[in-house]
Amino acid sequence: MNDGLDPTTRALRARAVTDGSLPTVTPLFQSAAFRTGSPYFYSRKDNPNVAELEAALAALEGCAHALAVTTGMAALAQVLGVLRPGDVLVCHHLMYGCSLKLFQQQVEERHVSLLVVDLADPAELARLPAAMRLVIFETPTNPFLRTVPIAAVAAAAKRANPAALVVVDGTWATPLFQQPLRHGADIVVHSATKFLSGHSDVMGGVICTERDDLGALFRERRFYHGANLDPHSAWLLCRSLKTFPLRMRAHQETTVRLAALLRGFAPVERVDLPEIDGRQLTGYGGIVFVQLREPWHGRYADFAAALTLFDTGTGMAAVTSTVAQPYSGSHASLCDAEKEAIGLNRGLVRLCFGLEDEKDLATDLTRAFAALA
Ligand SMILES: Cc1ncc(COP(=O)(O)O)c(C=O)c1O
């Protein structure tokens, strides 16, 4: 769309069709079905709140089709639906543990094969097989926040098989800082449960594409699979998106300052942040990984317990800060050998900075590291 508006402005102004009462904010259409004559039909197919959310997401991602589904995992599962027996699914070796688990389960059920490679390695890109139907990767990656060159992967994938689909999980970069479709990806998926929601109070997933054939395919599948987002979650996500750019910029500022602070603590061997090249990734904020060195390597539990402003558990990418151990949490589904192969150990800590005052978070981190001494 060439209206000269910034995508964030367009997202803010997205409105679903209403009945002419012109409310400032679109109300919740908590209705399973719509009467004959309505532009809507049945909420498993479409719903005004879901449509408004999708318009806002399409504006942010800069694409023709954005489909809202129940969770980020559902978005990935829908995409895997294009696989046919004999196909090869290629994925990057650094991925969210449940995504890898889903791929491993699906290849068995669908009689396809899974190839786990380092997509940031040009030599591995040159060896992508012609039977590859899907190549899926996160950038930046969970864990370690490494970036994968989208354009290079897309070029290599199309060389190997012009019909291959390049799928980027852009959850952690968010569409504010990265738009993979501009760099050759065919599909972008997001866990909307993370920064797009930003409040840890709703689950959702998104499938984005510029291609009309894929948009129609996923829309039809979603209807028959019943994977669409419910109106209330869509309404909450629409509300969240209104402050999304503001939240992300605040997360970014805090992250830059606290990452510098973290590097100065004796137990910290490494702080992982993605490379912001200004082209593929134009910014980043919210989540960092901290590698603890010996003799503090095994002290995650003490560190987490000493923090008072960081909640433990699976929540992340929200207005309040969290701390987690990927080894026992997000990547618990990987076996020991898989964890070792990617260098994931008990000393890796995931910190998500919320919107608390940055000085308070700095004080809390300083106190917690002092407690480890
Ligand atoms: C990168 C990434 N993709 C997908 C998911 C799955 O999203 P959801 O929990 O909304 O199903 C997660 C969850 O943490 C994630 O980190």
**Measuring from each residue's beta carbon to the nearest atom of ligand 1, which residues come in under 6 Å?**
71-73, 96, 99, 138, 142, 169, 171-172, 191, 193, 203, 205, 330
Neighbours of 164 (CB within 10 A): 24
Residue 27, in any domain of the structure: no
| 338 located within any domain | yes
pTM, rounded to two decimals: 0.97
Count of other CB atoms within 10 angstroms of residue 342: 18
Distance in Å, CA 3 to ligand 1 centroid: 33
Q: What is the CATH number of the domain that holds 54?
A: 3.40.640.10
**Cα(191) to centroid of ligand 1, in Å?**
5
- Claim to verify: residue 211 and residue 94 sit in the same structural domain: yes
| For range 94-103, the mean pLDDT | 96
Please compute the mean of the pLDDT values over residues 101-113 and round it to a whole number.
94
CA distances from 283 to 9, 189, 278, 362 (A): 18, 19, 7, 22
Residues found in the chain: 373
Helix (H, G, I), strand (E, B) or coil at 60: helix
What span, in angstroms and rounded, lies between the C-alpha atoms of 238 and 15? 10
End-of-domain residue from the set 216, 241, 266: 241
Q: How much is the average pLDDT of 160-168?
A: 98
CATH number of the domain residue 297 falls in: 3.90.1150.10
Phi and psi at residue 166, to the nearest 5°: -100, 120
Lowest mean pLDDT among 14-23, 160-169, 232-241: 14-23
Alpha helices in 202-342 (DSSP H): 212-225, 231-242, 244-262, 300-306, 336-341
Strands 187-191 and 322-324: unpaired
Tell me the residue range of the domain where 260 lies: 244-372
Using the predicted structure, report yes or no on whether residue 284 has a pLDDT greater than 70. Answer: yes
Ligand 1: atom nearest CA of 138 is: 1
Decide if 107 is inside a domain: yes
| 16 within a domain of the structure (yes/no) | no
Structurally, how many domains does the chain consist of? 2
From 78, 102, 169, 191, the mutation candidate for ligand 1 (largest count of ligand atoms within 8 A of CB) is 191
What is the mean pLDDT of the segment spanning 352-366?
98
